[in-house]
Amino acid sequence: MSPAFRLSRYVVAVAAVWVVAMTWRLYPQFKDTLRQDGRLVTLEAYIDDSCGQRIGPGVATCLDEARATGRRLVARQQAKSILVIEAPLLAYLFLYVPARWALGRWGERRVAAARAALE
């Protein structure tokens, strides 16, 4: 077995462990959690903080705006969580695989040049 294949196998194994560990860590807060002022809060707590003191006809519009903003912030937080979870696999696909392909092509050219020089 070549050292490159062994390294590739280790990278994939570490990436798989990372994905499982980060999913275990981040999944419970994934559904409706957002980041506000550096702390994680639920969507309902965000809406309560935004419109909790309002009374009168402005409450309905405040709730609608806070809910829409909160949903956008939850989606942003979910996207960040997915990137953190999938980071090693993406790095493997976008960095390691093309580098191995390029090194393989370079090695093939060297071998072909050496064979041509011997003939």
Q: Is residue 94 part of a domain?
A: no
Q: Is residue 100 part of a domain?
A: no
Q: Is residue 115 part of a domain?
A: no
Q: Is residue 103 part of a domain?
A: no
What domain count does the chain have? 1
- Cα 50 to Cα 57, 84, 96: the distances in Å are 15, 28, 46
Q: Look at residue 1 in the predicted model and tell me its pLDDT.
A: 52
* pLDDT tens figures, 52-87: 787 777 888 888 898 999 899 888 888 888 888 888
CA distance 73 to 43: 9
pTM above 0.85, yes or no: no
Q: Which residue has the tokens 């990372």?
A: 18
Q: Is residue 118 part of a domain?
A: no
Q: Look at residue 5 in the predicted model and tell me its pLDDT.
A: 60
> Does the pLDDT of residue 26 top 60, yes or no?
yes
> Does the pLDDT of residue 4 top 80, yes or no?
no
How high is the mean pLDDT of the chain?
82
Domain span including residue 63: 3-86
Beta bridge partners of 35: 40
Q: Is residue 104 part of a domain?
A: no
